[in-house]
Amino acid sequence: MNSLDTLFSPFKLGPLALANRIVMAPMTRQFSPGNVPNDLVVEYYKRRAEGGVGLIITEGTCIGHKAANGYENVPYFYGEQALAGWKKVVDAVHAAGGKIMPQLWHVGAVRKEGMEPDPSVPGFGPSGLVAPGKKKCHEMTLADIQEVIAAYAQAAKDAMDLGFDGVEIHGAHGYLIDQFFWAGLNERTDEYGGDLVARTRFAVEIIKAVRAATAPDFPIVLRFSQWKMQDYTARLAETPEALAAFLAPLSDAGVDIFHCSTRRFWETEFEGSDLNLAGWTRKLTGKPAITVGSVGLDKAFVDDEKKGFSGGQPASLDKLLEKLNSNEFDLVAVGRALISNPDWPLRLKEGQTMAAYDLEQLKQLV
């Protein structure tokens, strides 16, 4: 096996100082009744910090906008009760020696009518499309866009005030920000539509608003992806040149770290290069990059045919360590393996056996 030294080496970026390169990936759980993180949520994140995770990125948390939520029992990141619950989480993680960021989330067109907080509100999207060619939701006005930008900024300010170590903006997987990125869902003819670079404007304005609402050195992570829930084969950028053009305005707006979401970290991004998406992102921007995608398991988290969540057996980390040790990327996000092994970093360091990720056991796991 390749050396674990790099994986367990410290990482520092401005005020963000991590004990190692292991990041807990954001994973939606729907375990917050009333949309408020409770004591079980506190314990869930505390266990991963005690287990040696360097940085925890929380499950998606809904910003304070009427159409942000798309699922039952997901936590909000606004309102007195929800923020008080998150304060308990951040304090518990810090007491255990960990660092933590909330993932700020707006589901956009994915939202269905009947969801809280206002059951009468439909999904929101750049062009009213829920999938390419399917118009089933509200087409955002300029006023809607400004409301959402303000909600992101307020959530980031609240995160900083609560003591979080930064924020991650969810711009991946076919949710709202990604809907603006993706030509398949963004048919706007105003300044928020157009070519790939023009379609970054919404995200750029969010990033700038988050920066203005927080401290100059408050870490901002942006998660983005080529693939979408609506289409696993979708791509924003077909070439390194297109990816460079896409990333440049986001980097210039103030992103400190790019979280590059892929379903399998070992897959190369462009023909003729062994680099994955995180590797290309780091090379093109000069900014730190997080890789993610089935780390420590032998199956992607969603099945290609059934499009359902899959289990997985422990898998070798040789390829991951080879890439990390060659400086292809800076940080490694671990998802399902940390569900079944809350102390995954400690087990890895000590050479202990890892448990498989078993879907049937999830209801018993915290």
| Residue positions annotated with a catalytic role | 175
Pairing mode, strands 220-228 and 257-261 = parallel
Residue 286: which of 240, 312, 247, 242 has the closest Cα? Answer: 247
Task: Tell me how many degrees the CA angle 337-361-73 measures, rounded to the nearest 5.
Answer: 85
Q: Which amino acid is at 92?
A: A
Centroid of chain to Cα 34: 23
**In angstroms, rounded to a whole number, what is the distance separating the alpha carbons of residues 24 and 46?**
12
Exposed, middle or buried, 183 (CB in 10 Å: 0-12/13-18/19+)? middle
DSSP state of 328: S
* CA dihedral sign, ordered 360, 60, 316, 46: negative
Q: Which two tokens stand for residue 107?
A: 């589901």
Residue 360: which of 301, 314, 310, 315 has the closest Cα? Answer: 310
**In angstroms, rounded to a whole number, what is the distance separating the alpha carbons of residues 290 and 85?**
27
**In angstroms, rounded to a whole number, what is the distance separating the alpha carbons of residues 249 and 255?**
9
Bridge partners (DSSP) listed for residue 16: 13
Exposed, middle or buried, 362 (CB in 10 Å: 0-12/13-18/19+)? middle
